[in-house]
Amino acid sequence: MTSEPTHAPGTADTFSVGGEFRVTRIGFGAMRLHSGPGPERKAAIAVARRAVELGVTLIDTAHLYGWGANEELLAEALFPYPDDLLITTKVGVTRGGPEGWAYDARPGSLREQVEQGLRRLRTERIGLLQLHRLDPKVPVAEQVGALRELQQEGKIGHIGLSEVTAAQLAEARRTADIASVQNRYNLFDREYEPVLRACEAAGIAFLPWRPVAAAAASGEVS
């Protein structure tokens, strides 16, 4: 993509992820983009491209979003990626279970999910790979250790976590460096305030998901 951003963020409008990526404080969550066929797909591609044109340099997706279809959509919209664009994806949730999905962070499964993500995103390295949820059936050291091995192989740049407690973050950090935490957080929901403080103390990027929509949907605001 060659379009110049209409807004070039200054240092105050950015933050560091893993000491490698400096990204805009307002990122783009791609979960709601329509990844099926038809005119909605064209509109979704246009939205993703427009976000980058406006200066967004962090886009968040996941294997769970359409079981990889969202990743493929972003690749179709944005590949080859601008040098300053960080597309982060998440693994650790697969199809199955009574809800249509299940935790699966077994080392072999994580490796397969990462390999699939690399293929769908058309890249040899995922700059930031986040564990979508900790699998309660697998020791944390094994889950994070599997991602560390992929990092050592050059397939992952940095490791992140999602929906973790401060204690879980500390446990994960005993196995690998953690670059980011993506937890639910907004004005009306401060459950993860201790995690935010832990991230601030350790220089870990904190990526709040649904920072506005959840509060507005709660009916507590007018």
- Provide the annotated active-site residues: 65
Helix, strand or coil for residue 126?
strand
Please classify residue 136 by burial: count the beta carbons closer than 10 Å to its beta carbon, then call 0-12 exposed, 13-18 middle and 19+ buried.
exposed
d(CA 130, CA 158): 8
- By residue count, the chain amounts to 222
Laid out side by side, the sheet with 156-162 consists of 28-29, 58-60, 86-91, 126-131, 156-162, 180-182, 205-206
Task: Enter the tokens of residue 82.
Answer: 């601008």
d(CA 125, CA 91): 15
